[in-house]
Structure formats: structure tokens, C-alpha cells
Amino acid sequence: MRIIEAKDYKELSKQAANIIAAQIVMKPDCVLGLATGSSPIGTYDQLVEKYENGDLDFSKVSSVNLDEYRGLDHENDQSYYYFMHEHLFDRVNIDAENTNVPDGTNPDAEAECKRYEELIRSYGGVDLQLLGLGHNGHIGFNEPAPIFEKETHCVDLTESTIEANKRFFASADDVPKQAYTMGIGTIMRAKKILVVVSGADKADIVAKAFFGDVTPEVPASILQMHPDVTIVGDAEALAKIPR
């Protein structure tokens, strides 16, 4: 596990974008696993800047997103499909046909999860998976649980996740209660994993997830077992890790 400490969110975003950009340069037709939420927005902005400067070409890149709320359509501005188009896809020259987000409108959870898992396998897996880190240790929408879920599945969101996400909605009642998400096994099959984390409010979970016991009660702790993980965090988020 490699840990890169950035002085602030802007530097963190630059460092993370540099790692993703290097992946694209090394393998122009790479498969990127992408994440949503507030943490990667700066990273996407930096990638867009590199593209606009002529330093990055997304034309052969394919992408698979970690997750999507169940029940939200593409036009809903809180859907992750909408988020990805707003922050990255519509701002670079990636082929829309090669971008993939779980279909939150599919009412058949079993069929959608199977379809998405097969889609990821059809690409030959993910070359680099970008992750954020939830306050309770969730990655994607893999919540604390008795076991590590292996493949893409439909999950009931915990109250803490709903509470954390309600700032994006009119009220907590409007936050979807379920989501489709890659499983822990799906994530762990990525060749490389990049975690971005910022803020003092993440310091406790960073220390617990990456320096504590490996347990499904802290889903991100499984990343300790992956052979190629890079964590890019600002000083506040990394304040409680062992030195």
C-alpha cells in the first residue's frame, strides 16, 4: 500500500489526476473504474484541464462506474449517470458508448446486477479503480456487513449513508434507500486501486480501514489485501495514521 500525503484538496486532486493520466498514457484503451461523490470532483476537474491542454486523449478509454441509486433515471440531477456526464464525460472526448453506469431504472435487481457484472468481465476487468471512502468505511455502496459481497449487487443503504447523502437532496426522505453497486470482489479484481480521501472528518476511518483489522464491518479494510493500492489524502485525512 502506497500513501501519498498532499497538503490540501487541490494538491490531492492533482496527484490523483496524475496517476489516472499516467494510466491512460501507458494504455490508451484502458478501462477506468470511476467513483462519484465530493471527493473525486477535483480529480475530474484536473483531468479535464489536462485534456483541454492537449495532454490527455480519452478517445479509446472505457469506463465502468462503481454504483448508482436504484430508482433514479438519467435526467435526475442526483443520479450518478448525471454526475459523471456533468463532471467528466461531457467535458472530454470519451466515447459515450464506452461509458457505463449501472441502470438505476431497471426494476429487476437480479438481472441488472448480473448484466453489469458480465459487462465488466467483457472488458477484461478494470485497469485502475478510483474510490472514495465513506465515514463508515464503505467503498462504492458496500456497507458494513457480516460478509464481503463478491459481485455487483443491490444494497439497502444504511441510515448513516442516507444521512451523509441527504445534503444533495431536498430532504432525507428523498434519498433513495437502495443502490446497485460493484461488489467487494469486483473491486478487488481491479489491477490497480486509487483511493482519494480528504478532510479531518475522515481521519478516524482512514486509520481504522487501512491500519486496523480486515473485517467486512469496515468494508474498505479489504484493500489492505490488494497488491497495488495507492491512497492520496490531504494532511487532515491522514492525521491519525501510524507514522
The predicted pLDDT at position 73 comes to 92
The pLDDT of residue 158 is 85
Is the pLDDT score of 166 beyond 90? no
160 Cβ contact partners less than 8 Å away, ≥ 6 residues apart: 135, 136
Cα separations (Å) of 56 from 44, 187, 218?
Answer: 12, 25, 36
pLDDT exceeding 70 applies to what percent of the chain?
Answer: 100
pLDDT at 243: 80
The percent of residues above 90 in pLDDT, for the chain, comes to: 91
Residues 6+ apart with CB under 8 A from 53: none
Q: Three-state DSSP class for 99?
A: strand
The predicted pLDDT at position 162 comes to 86
Catalytic residue among 112, 127, 143, 234: 143
- According to DSSP, residue 124 is labeled T
In the set 100, 136, 142, 165, the catalytic residue is 136
Q: Which residues contact 200 (CB under 8 A, 6 or more apart)?
A: 236, 237, 239
Sequence-ordered strand ranges (E) for the chain: 2-6, 31-34, 62-65, 67-69, 99-100, 128-131, 153-156, 178-181, 192-197, 229-234
Active site includes 67?
A: yes
Known catalytic membership, residue 138:
yes
Report the sign of the C-alpha dihedral through residues 190, 197, 219, 140, in that order.
negative
Mean pLDDT (the chain, rounded): 95
Give the domains, in start order, of the chain with CATH numbers. Answer: 19-186 (3.40.50.1360)
What pLDDT shows up at residue 54?
A: 97
Pairwise CA distance, residues 120 & 122, whole Å: 5
Whether 187 has a pLDDT exceeding 90, the answer reads yes
Q: Is the pLDDT of residue 210 over 90?
A: yes
pLDDT (0 to 100) of residue 170: 85
Predicted TM-score (pTM) of the model is 0.95
How high is the pLDDT of residue 219?
97
Residue 81, number of CB atoms within 10 A of its CB? 24
Question: Residue 58 has what pLDDT?
Answer: 98
* 153 labelled catalytic: no
The catalytic position among 127, 138, 149, 236 is: 138
Exposure on the CB side of residue 110, measured as CA atoms within 13 A? 0
Cα 241 to chain centroid, rounded:
22
Q: Has 234 been annotated as catalytic?
A: no
Q: What pLDDT is recorded for position 116?
A: 97
Question: Of residues 67, 112, 117, 234, which has the active-site annotation?
Answer: 67
Rounded Cα distance, 195 and 131, in Å: 5
